Amino acid sequence: MTDTMERRSLTRDQLLGAYRMMRTIREFEERVHREFATGEIPGFVHLYAGEEASAVGVCSNLDERDTIASTHRGHGHCIAKGVDVGEMMAEIYGRTTGSCHGKGGSMHIADLSKGMLGANGIVGGGPPLICGTALAAKIKSTGGVGVAFFGDGGSNQGTTLESMNLACVWNLPAIFVAENNGYAEATASTWSVAADSIADRAAAFGMPGVLVDGFDFFAVHEAAGEAIARARDGGGPSLIEMKFTRYFGHFEGDQQTYRADEVARARAELDCLKRFAARVTETGELAQSDLDAVDAEVGALIDQAVDSAQAAPLPTEADLLTDVYVRY
Amino acid sequence: MARTITYREALGEALAQEMERDDSVIVMGEDTAGGAGSPGEDDAWGGVLGVTKGLFHRFPGRVLDTPISESAFIGAAIGAATAGMRPVAELMFVDFMGVCFDQIYNQAAKFRYMFGGKAVTPVVIRTMYGAGLRAAAQHSQCLYPLFTHIPGLKVVVPATPYDAKGLLTQAIRDNDPVIFFEHKALYDLAGPVPEESYALPFGEANVVREGGDVTIVTLGRMVHIALEAAEQLAPSGVQCEIVDLRTTSPLDEDTVLESVEGTGRVVVVDEAHPRCSMATDISALVARKAFGALRAPVEMVTAPHTPVPFSGALEDRYIPDAQAVVNAVKTVTGWTR
Amino acid sequence: MTDERIVAVAMPKWGLSMQLGKITGWMVAEGDDVGAGDEIADIETDKIAGTLESPQAGTVRRLVAQVGEDVPVSGTIALIAPADVSDDALDAAVAQARAVIDAGVPDEAAGQPVVETAEVGGRKIRYAGSGQQGDVVLLVHGFGGDRNSWLFLQEPLAARYRVYALDLPGHGTSAKDVGDGSTGVLAGAVLGVLDAIGAPRAHLVGHSLGGAVAVAATARDPARIASLTLIAPSGFGPEINAGYLRGFADAQTRRELKPHLGQLFADESLVTRQVTDDLLAYKRLDGVDEALHTLLGTLLDPAVSVRCVSPSPAGSRSVPSRVCSASSTPSSRL
């Protein structure tokens, strides 16, 4: 765990923006959790609630030159990278107004125009792609970086390990973010990751690795900022391991009997939003009323997103056959 | 028409001309230069069979050697394609697809559809296929049926130097993911190839020989086996029409069906295994759409349902030869109810 | 000892690039009498299928080449001789001729016209010549053709002239950029080739678009041009076969191209697979589609036609000209 570190001072706007982003993810996921239980949402969803500080702490350091790849648990990364919330909700409901016109669903939400290479249904599917976008940024000298998010499960996948090696061999502007939420499906990461920590693996590839409290936005923001700056400067790739827990199951419907009661404790004592709020109000950088106003706006935003999604049209039969190729 | 060069040289020329024309074209793969980090020549191989030789120095920074990490660098090529590059990655032997197939069929092939038409993935994956060099079971397969099956991929199998250059040029210019199959026994085949750049369209089969008695549908190296068989049959008055598919996806159904309407008899010659293959694909096409024209059942000439054997004595029996094609033609032309 | 009365019928040279001809059929048998000009063999090259006429009257004593055989240009394919020439003499002549056929194509260097490249107005223009003496004749092909289009004219002309043929911009192996596609651009290439050859004066022969180009070249530099021979030239009237031109330019596949090629020849059977394939391969070269469509604009522009016919500026000498119309389009008629 990182010690309390000197945090770079963020502006009021940056702080509000970070809080808004995390709150949006939290409300989005909590709402999807409730709506899914009604049976209206098709397929599988994998919720990110609890992990917001990771997505927002990292992505608040990125801009339009940068790309990210995500996992099946991708809503948080999508929102943090600027994908439209209304389009995301519609996609989850399988409507034509969705980010992917209803053809991708929760696990494949993407917006390449925002540098979001997609949530990914294949564990370990993202890191090789990020080697590619990072390579493109390097060849074109855009100064952009690529961030590959993956889980503790994905950290064991061959594709992830190969990508780390390749990124180091080619000295790519890539950042590998291992979101260790304690479980890969129903299997504990303490069991499936043989080493003491995922961060320790970085040294084996010849890149820096740090372990960060994933519930602490400021710690994440600082560690990510350093890694991203290093990459932009031509200093090559880094690995960041976030440690935290997910509030919901692997998928919605997971009875989670493999867990103890760590979620209750986390929500009460470790929650990233509570800690963020406590810290900024204590220092006086933001007032509680500022945060309440954001909460209200976000609530309305999510309500609007759900209403629109539920009213939106479904794709038609003609849509079934379109967009397989650019031109066949 | 044009000067004569080899299949290998035609491929290299297509790459060089496209890299010259378009800065976003990059090449990557194991030993595509050959010598990374090594003390000797840094362009020592130019690809295991020399296709990419010379490109490393001519286009600095655009020919990337890779570690032996197919899933990472094939995936990187795909990711780079989504980010505005036109990568030509080399999967050295198609037999290695097992270690990177996810990136090809679950990622590249599906981006455009899954992302609602908002992705463009102009990646080319060049790969060697085919038996005949005693390279044995894990270096000799014809796996294009597996890729042909996947919506979102295009699959190209050139048989001649002229086709190789034109189809690779098209593959690089194409905005969809293309898997480009090069038969390792064709690299030394020479043929006329224009010096200038040209692109051949996908989904256009080539009637390499006209004839009214039987339609031989084939692809890749088997085109030359079919031509050999046709020469053997001609003196006896049997004229074979040979349709070279050139691309299995998209497939030129019209040319195949038009030919079958004319001859009524079909032999499919395909070096791949017989189950779920191009041979069965064409057989089904003909049975469904040219049933009325058929005067005999379709004959398939394929490799057996076995891995590729090592010993030459066996490998030579594994690969369909002209005699097998002649026998099949005789079967369909001699068939009576 | 060769009997001088034996006349060797040779494989003709139909076009600059021809090296081999395949006998696809004999119209005569050994022992038949033939008159000069009678058709004796069907021959196919990689460019065209045509019929060879007997050079002389006499009796066909031996057929040297078989149907389906490739024979090098100028190789003997048959022997014509009076009935009293001995079999031994004929057999010896046949053996000599067979040796040539069996040896195959002579190496590249021997007898092949050298292809030259001229830089004209920033464009590479390719041309080749044959013939050793006499005036310079420059052949200018038509829309979609190239220097090898002059199949049946080349050989007879080369016997008396220094004959050259060029690939116009957008065609053959010359640069594919045609600028604004005006006859002026193309005429520049023609005059540029004359400069490269070092010919102060030349006879121009132009077919179709090449005819309009030849006229334009003459208008630009009348003193340079000794005579103009125009074969079915474009630009001399409204009766231009727009359908063919457009169809040729637009065709994307062999299926689409084939019907239009039939219009290029008096005898449709002259359109071989190879001709179609070569034309399709040419049309697929980078830049050709654009070039042909730009030139189409020139060809179909009525204003251009009128300009071609208007009188040359006062004071210029007139150039002797001859126009061959297109009652039957170029083929063995020429």
What does the pLDDT average to over C99-110? 70
The DSSP H or E segment spanning C130 is strand C123-130
pLDDT at C106: 60
What does the pLDDT average to over C258-276? 77
Cβ-defined contact of A159 to B102 (cutoff 8 Å): yes
- In a domain? residue C110: no
Which of C284, C288, C290 should be substituted to probe chain B, the one whose Cβ sees the most B Cβ atoms within 10 Å? C284
Whether the per-residue pLDDT at C252 is higher than 70: the answer is: yes
Shortest CA distance from C173: residue in chain B: B196
pLDDT at A8: 64
On whether the CB atoms of residues B266 and B298 are closer than 8 A, the answer is yes
Same domain, C183 and C142: yes
Shortest CA distance from B254: residue in chain C: C255
CATH number of the domain bearing residue B303: 3.40.50.920
CB of B250 within 8 Å of a chain C CB? The answer is no
Same domain, B188 and B210: no
Domain region containing B290: 206-333
State how far residue B325 is from chain A, nearest Cα, in angstroms: 32
On whether the CB atoms of residues A247 and A263 are closer than 8 A, the answer is yes
Rounded to whole angstroms, how far apart are CA atoms B75 and B172? Answer: 17
Query: For residue range C164-219, what is the model confidence (pLDDT) as tens digits?
Result: 999 999 999 999 999 999 999 999 999 999 999 999 999 999 998 999 999 999 99
pLDDT at C326: 53
Q: Residues B57, B139, B183, B273: which is the catalytic one?
A: B139
pLDDT at C3: 81
**Neighboring chain B residues of C286 at a CB cutoff of 8 Å:** 196-199
Which of A116, A123, A159 should be substituted to probe chain B, the one whose Cβ sees the most B Cβ atoms within 10 Å? A159
Same domain, B188 and B217: no
Tell me the residue type at C179: G
- In a domain? residue B306: yes
Structural domains of chain C, count? 2
The DSSP H or E segment spanning C206 is strand C202-207
Backbone angles phi, psi at A210, to 5 degrees: -130, 150
User: What ipTM does the predicted assembly reach?
Assistant: 0.91
Show the low-confidence residues of chain A (pLDDT under 70): 1-8
Residues 135-164 on B with a CB inside 8 Å of C are 162
**Neighboring chain B residues of A324 at a CB cutoff of 8 Å:** 112-113, 151-152
CB of B152 within 8 Å of a chain A CB? The answer is yes
What angle separates helix A272-283 from helix A12-37, to the nearest 10 degrees?
150
Residues 86-125 on A with a CB inside 8 Å of B are 98-104, 108, 110-113, 117-118, 120-122, 125
- Give start and end residues of each alpha helix (H) in chain C: 87-103, 154-158, 183-197, 209-220, 242-250, 254-261, 273-283, 288-300, 302-309
What angle separates helix A52-59 from helix A217-232, to the nearest 10 degrees?
40
Shortest CA distance from A113: residue in chain B: B118
Query: For residue range C286-306, what is the model confidence (pLDDT) as tens digits?
Result: 999 999 999 998 888 766 554
**Other Cβ atoms closer than 10 A to B160:** 23
Structural domains of chain A, count? 1
Tell me the residue type at B217: V
CB of B23 within 8 Å of a chain C CB? The answer is no
pLDDT at B306: 96
What angle separates helix B222-233 from helix B322-333, to the nearest 10 degrees?
60
pLDDT at C111: 54
Domain region containing C64: 7-103
Band of residue C14 on the pLDDT scale cut at 50, 70, 90: confident
CATH number of the domain bearing residue A271: 3.40.50.970
Whether the per-residue pLDDT at C330 is higher than 60: the answer is: no
What angle separates helix A85-92 from helix A12-37, to the nearest 10 degrees?
20
pLDDT at A153: 95
pLDDT at A46: 96
**Neighboring chain B residues of C281 at a CB cutoff of 8 Å:** 1, 162, 194, 198
- Comparison of pLDDT for C87 and C235, the residue scoring more: C87
Give me the percent of chain A exceeding a pLDDT of 70. Answer: 98
State how far residue B197 is from chain C, nearest Cα, in angstroms: 6
CA-wise closest residue to B115 among A107, A104, A117, A82:
A104
On whether the CB atoms of residues C271 and C329 are closer than 8 A, the answer is no
On whether the CB atoms of residues A212 and A2 are closer than 8 A, the answer is yes
pLDDT at B163: 98
Q: What distance, in Å, lies between the first and last C-alpha atoms of chain B?
A: 47
Contacts of C45 (CB under 8 A, 6+ apart): C14, C15, C18, C20, C21, C22
Give catalytic status of residue B57 as yes or no: no
Same domain, C137 and C90: no
> What is the residue-averaged pLDDT of chain B?
96
Backbone angles phi, psi at A170, to 5 degrees: -90, 0
Rounded to whole angstroms, how far apart are CA atoms B135 and B141? Answer: 10
Sheet of strand B266-270, all strands in order from the earlier edge strand to the far edge? B206-209, B240-244, B214-218, B266-270, B299-302
**Neighboring chain B residues of A139 at a CB cutoff of 8 Å:** 26, 61-62, 85
Tokens linked to C116 = 């030259």
pLDDT at C314: 38
Residues 11-70 on C with a CB inside 8 Å of B are 46
Tokens linked to B164 = 């190789």
Specify the pairing of strand A146-151 against strand A67-69: parallel
State how far residue C16 is from chain B, nearest Cα, in angstroms: 12
Chains that touch A (3 or more CB pairs under 8 A): B
- In a domain? residue C329: no
Residues 63-82 on A with a CB inside 8 Å of B are 67, 69
pTM strictly above 0.80:
yes
Same domain, B92 and B140: yes
Structural domains of chain B, count? 2
- In a domain? residue B199: no
Strands (E), C45-122: 49-53, 58-63, 70-72, 76-80, 115-120
Whether the per-residue pLDDT at C316 is higher than 50: the answer is: no
Same domain, C32 and C175: no
Torsion C244-C245-C246-C248 (CA) sign: positive
pLDDT at C15: 75
- In a domain? residue B80: yes
**Residue among B76, B110, B250 minimizing CB distance to A132:** B76
CATH number of the domain bearing residue C315: 3.40.50.1820
**Other Cβ atoms closer than 10 A to B78:** 27
CA-wise closest residue to A70 among A128, A116, A30, A115:
A116
Same domain, B42 and B157: yes
- Give start and end residues of each alpha helix (H) in chain A: 12-37, 52-59, 75-80, 85-92, 126-139, 158-169, 189-192, 201-205, 217-232, 262-265, 272-283, 288-311, 317-320
Query: For residue range B285-301, what is the model confidence (pLDDT) as tens digits?
Result: 999 999 999 999 999 99
Residue finishing a domain among B192, B227, B261: B192
- Comparison of pLDDT for B5 and C73, the residue scoring more: B5
- Comparison of pLDDT for B218 and C329, the residue scoring more: B218
**Residue among C278, C281, C286 minimizing CB distance to B197:** C286
Torsion B139-B141-B142-B146 (CA) sign: negative
**Neighboring chain A residues of B79 at a CB cutoff of 8 Å:** 69, 117, 128-133, 135-136, 146
Same domain, B323 and B178: no
